[in-house]
C-alpha cells in the first residue's frame, strides 16, 4: 500500500478502482518511440485514424459553421487540409516504415513539424505549429482511444489525472466516478469547483506519485483531510468499505437531523444551490435548496467537442426551471475563456488569460453565440422563475450593452411568436474590484448582484486561482475582499436590489455572522454544503 497526502479540494470519502487518464501532453510523451513488429498493420491503423479524423472534422466544421458562422469553422478546414498535406503524411509513413507504431509515428511527425513551424519568422507560419499539434493530438487520441477511455465495468472508479480541466470535468459521468485524484490543482480551479458541485470527493497536489502504474488497483481518498491510500490489499479494501458505509450512515443521519432542525426556523438568509450540470439536479432537489443561485451554463458548451444548438440549450434551461417548480433559478451566461477554453473556438494565444477575453468579454467577442444563448434563456423563461446572470463585469457600458442585446432578443422572439416569462431579471456577477467599487452605479443598471468571491479574491489579491503554490497568499479572511463585499452589499441595498454570494466563500460557516451583518440576501453553495450551512444558521439564532 502507498500512503500519500495531498490537498482535499472536494469533501467526502471514496473507494474504487484507480484509473489514470492521460492528458493530451501525456499522450505525446507516452507514445513516443514505441517499436512495432508490423509496419503494414501500423500504416493501415494510421490510414483508418486519418479517415475517421477527416469525418470528425467535417462534422465539426458543419456544426460550428451552423452555430457560430463559417468564419469560426475555417479552423477545422485548415486541420482537414493538414490531414492531406503530403509532407506531413510522408513523415508519418517513413516513421512507420522505420518500425515505429502508428502512435509513435504521429508523435515523431508532430515534433518535426512543430519545430519547423515555430522556428519560422513569419507569425502566420508560427501559428501553424498549433495546428500541427491539434491534428496530431486528434490522430493520437483516435489511435490510442481505447487506452485512454475509462475501462468498462460497473465498478466505481477513482479517476486520476495530471490536472482536472473544466472540459474533462464536464464530460465526467458522476455515476461512474467515485473520486478524483490530481497531480496538480488548486481548490478554486474550475475543475475543483465542478467536482464540488457534482459532490465528487477529490484530492489534488499529489505529484508524480499517481500515474498509470497503479491502474486497476484499489484506491481510497478522503477529500477533507487530503489522505490518499493507493494499491490497497483485499483486506484493507474490505475494512475501508465497512468504515465508509458507517460514515455514510452517520452523515445521512446528520443531514436529516440538520434538515429537521432547520425546518423549524426561518432563515434570515436564503440558501440556494449551485448547479454545474443537469446531473446535479437530483441532489439539489433532495437537499431542499430554496432555489438555484448559480447555474454555470459552461457544461453545455464544454461537454461536447461542438457548440450546443439553441434548441438543446432551451431544453436544458427549461428542464431546470420546471424541476425547480417556481423557485428562483439564476442561470449564468457562458463564462468561457481564461482557464475554460472552448476547443471549437480558438482564440489567439494570450499572455495572461485570466486578464484576457473571458466572461462577458468572450460573450461580446462572439456575439452570435451570446445572442443564441439569450434566445434559449428567454424561451425557457416561460417555464419557470428564471433570471439571467452575466459574468466578469467591470464597466457600466458592458451592462448597458447587455440590456440592449436582451431587448433585441426579446423583440425577435416576440415577433416569432414565442411565449416569454414576464419578469426575467438581469443580474451581474461582482467578481472584479472594479465592479465592487462601481457598485453604486452598476446597481442602477442591474436587477441583482451575485458576488463571485473566487474571482474577486483572485483579482483583488493578485493571486492566480489556478496556482496551488500561491495558497499562503489566498486569504479568505483578507480585509480587502471583505471590504469589497461590504461596499457591494451596501450599494445594492441603497438601490433596492438583492445581493447574493455564489463563490466558495459562501460555504465557509465562519463568515456567516459577517454575511448576516452585511445583510447578504442569499448564499449559493454546492448542494452538499447546504445541511452544514443550515445547522450553522440555526446555531446562531
Ligand atoms: C466566482 O468567481 O466566485 C464564481 C462563482 O464564478 P466561477 O467560480 O465560475 O468563476
Ligand atoms: Mg468567476
The residue whose CB lies within 8 Å of the most ligand 1 atoms, and thus the one to mutate among 273, 297, 333, 452, is 452
User: Could you state, in order of their start, the residue ranges of all structural domains in the chain?
Assistant: 2-22+149-249, 25-144, 264-540
- Which ligand is located closest to the Cα atom of residue 457? 1
Active-site pick, 79, 190, 366, 508: 190
Radius of gyration of the chain (CA): 25
Residue pLDDT, tens place only, 48-105 = 999 999 999 999 999 989 888 888 889 899 999 999 999 999 999 999 999 999 999 9
Quote the strand ranges of 60-161, DSSP E.
157-161
Environment class of 354 (CB within 10 Å of its CB; exposed 0-12, middle 13-18, buried 19+): middle
CATH superfamily of 25-144: PtsI, HPr-binding domain (1.10.274.10)
pLDDT digits (tens, 9 = 90+) for 110-132: 999 999 998 998 888 888 888 89
CA-closest residue to ligand 1 atom 4:
452
Q: Looking up cell 451592462, which residue turns up?
A: 399
What pLDDT, in 10s, does the model give residues 221-230?
Answer: 999 999 999 9
Q: Is the dihedral of CA 19, 21, 26, 29 positive or negative?
A: positive
Instruction: List Cα–Cα distances, 145 to 139, 152, 207, 344, 366, in angstroms.
Output: 9, 13, 25, 20, 32
Active site residue 502: yes
Fold of 2-22+149-249: Glucose Oxidase; domain 1 (3.50.30)
Alpha carbon of 340 to ligand 1 centroid (Å): 12
- CA 276 from chain centre, in angstroms, equals 8
Is 264-540 CATH 3.20.20.60? yes
Pocket test for ligand 1, best of 503, 508, 523, 524 (most atoms within 8 A of CB): 503
**What CA–CA distance (Å, rounded) separates 222 from 513?**
29
Give 343 Cα–ligand 1 centroid separation in angstroms: 21
Q: Whose CA is nearest to atom 3 of ligand 1?
A: 452
Condensed to tens digits (0 to 9), the pLDDT of residues 512-538 reads 999 999 999 999 999 999 999 999 998
Query: Distance between CA atoms of 515 and 528, rounded to whole angstroms?
Result: 20
User: Of all atoms in ligand 1, which is nearest to the CA of residue 274?
Assistant: 5
Burial pattern 498-532, b for ≥16 Cβ within 10 A else e, equals bbbbbbbbbbbbebbeebeebebbbbbbbbbbbbb
Other CB atoms within a 10 A radius of the CB of residue 23 amount to 17
**Probe target for ligand 1 pocket from 170, 193, 428, with the most ligand atoms within 8 Å of CB:** 193
Grid cell, residue 45, equals 491503423
pLDDT tens-place values along the chain, 541 residues long: 999 999 999 999 999 999 998 887 888 888 888 888 899 999 999 999 999 999 999 999 999 898 888 888 898 999 999 999 999 999 999 999 999 999 999 999 999 999 999 899 888 888 888 889 989 999 998 998 866 666 667 678 999 998 888 777 777 777 889 999 999 888 888 878 888 888 899 999 999 999 889 999 999 999 999 999 999 999 999 999 998 888 877 777 766 665 555 545 567 899 999 999 998 999 999 999 999 999 999 989 998 889 999 999 999 999 999 999 999 999 999 999 988 889 888 778 899 999 999 999 999 999 999 999 999 999 999 999 999 999 999 999 999 999 999 999 999 999 999 999 999 999 999 999 999 999 999 999 999 999 999 999 999 999 999 888 898 999 989 999 999 999 999 999 999 999 999 999 999 999 999 999 999 999 999 999 999 999 999 888 7
21 is known as an active-site residue = no
- Beta bridge partner(s), residue 2: 230
At 104, which helix (H) or strand (E)? helix 102-118
Confirm if 186 and 204 have CB atoms less than 8 A apart: yes
Name residues contacting ligand 1 (CB within 6 A): 193, 294, 296, 335, 431, 452-455, 502-503
For residue 188, the ligand 1 atom closest to its alpha carbon is: 8
Q: Could you say which ligand is closest to the alpha carbon of residue 193?
A: 1
Amino acid at each position: 500500500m502507498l500512503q500519500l497526502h495531498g490537498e482535499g479540494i472536494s469533501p467526502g470519502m471514496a473507494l474504487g478502482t484507480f484509473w489514470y487518464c492521460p492528458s493530451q501532453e501525456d499522450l505525446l510523451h507516452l507514445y513516443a518511440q514505441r517499436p512495432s513488429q508490423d509496419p503494414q498493420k501500423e500504416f493501415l491503423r494510421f490510414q483508418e485514424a486519418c479517415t475517421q479524423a477527416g469525418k470528425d472534422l467535417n462534422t465539426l466544421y458543419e456544426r460550428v459553421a451552423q452555430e457560430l458562422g463559417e468564419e469560426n469553422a475555417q479552423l477545422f478546414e485548415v486541420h482537414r487540409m493538414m490531414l492531406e498535406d503530403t509532407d506531413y503524411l510522408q513523415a508519418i509513413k517513413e516513421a512507420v516504415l522505420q518500425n515505429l507504431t502508428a502512435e509513435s509515428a504521429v508523435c515523431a511527425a508532430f515534433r518535426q513539424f512543430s519545430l519547423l513551424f515555430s522556428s519560422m519568422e513569419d507569425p502566420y507560419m508560427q501559428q501553424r505549429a498549433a495546428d500541427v499539434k491539434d491534428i496530431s493530438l486528434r490522430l493520437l487520441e483516435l489511435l490510442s482511444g481505447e487506452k485512454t477511455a475509462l475501462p468498462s465495468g460497473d465498478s466505481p472508479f477513482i479517476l486520476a489525472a495530471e490536472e482536472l480541466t473544466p472540459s474533462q470535468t464536464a464530460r465526467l459521468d458522476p455515476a461512474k466516478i467515485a473520486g478524483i485524484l490530481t497531480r496538480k490543482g488548486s481548490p478554486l480551479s474550475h475543475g475543483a469547483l465542478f467536482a464540488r458541485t457534482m459532490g465528487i470527493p477529490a484530492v489534488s497536489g499529489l505529484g508524480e506519485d499517481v500515474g498509470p502504474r497503479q491502474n486497476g488497483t484499489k484506491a481510497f481518498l478522503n477529500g477533507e483531510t487530503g489522505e490518499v491510500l493507493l494499491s490497497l490489499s483485499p483486506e484493507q479494501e474490505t475494512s475501508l468499505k465497512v468504515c465508509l458505509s458507517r460514515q455514510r450512515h452517520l452523515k445521512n443521519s446528520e443531514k436529516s437531523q440538520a434538515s429537521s432542525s432547520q425546518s423549524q426556523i426561518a432563515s434570515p438568509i436564503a440558501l440556494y444551490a449551485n448547479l454545474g450540470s443537469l446531473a446535479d439536479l437530483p441532489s439539489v432537489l433532495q437537499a431542499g435548496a430554496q432555489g438555484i443561485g448559480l447555474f454555470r451554463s459552461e457544461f453545455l458548451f464544454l461537454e461536447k467537442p461542438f457548440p450546443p444548438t439553441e434548441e438543446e440549450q432551451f431544453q436544458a434551461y427549461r428542464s431546470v426551471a420546471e424541476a425547480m417548480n417556481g423557485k428562483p433559478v439564476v442561470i449564468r451566461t457562458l463564462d468561457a475563456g481564461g482557464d475554460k477554453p472552448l476547443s471549437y473556438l480558438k482564440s489567439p494565444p494570450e499572455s495572461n488569460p485570466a486578464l484576457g477575453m473571458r466572461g462577458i468579454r468572450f460573450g461580446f467577442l462572439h456575439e452570435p453565440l451570446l445572442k443564441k444563448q439569450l434566445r434559449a434563456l428567454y424561451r425557457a423563461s416561460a417555464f419557470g422563475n428564471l433570471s439571467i446572470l452575466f459574468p466578469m463585469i467591470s464597466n457600466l457600458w458592458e451592462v448597458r450593452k447587455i440590456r440592449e442585446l436582451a431587448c433585441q432578443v426579446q423583440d425577435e422572439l416576440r415577433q416569432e411568436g414565442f411565449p416569454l416569462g414576464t419578469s426575467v431579471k438581469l443580474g451581474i456577477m461582482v467578481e472584479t474590484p472594479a465592479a465592487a467599487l462601481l457598485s453604486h452605479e452598476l446597481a442602477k443598471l442591474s436587477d441583482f448582484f451575485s458576488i463571485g468571491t473566487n474571482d474577486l479574491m483572485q483579482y483583488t489579491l493578485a493571486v492566480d486561482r489556478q496556482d496551488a503554490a500561491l495558497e499562503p497568499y489566498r486569504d479568505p479572511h483578507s480585509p480587502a475582499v471583505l471590504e469589497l463585499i461590504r461596499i457591494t452589499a451596501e450599494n445594492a441595498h441603497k438601490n433596492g436590489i438583492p445581493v447574493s454570494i455564489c463563490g466558495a466563500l459562501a460555504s465557509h460557516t465562519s463568515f456567516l455572522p459577517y454575511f448576516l451583518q452585511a445583510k447578504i440576501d442569499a448564499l449559493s453553495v454546492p448542494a452538499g454544503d447546504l445541511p452544514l450551512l443550515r445547522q450553522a444558521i440555526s446555531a446562531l439564532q
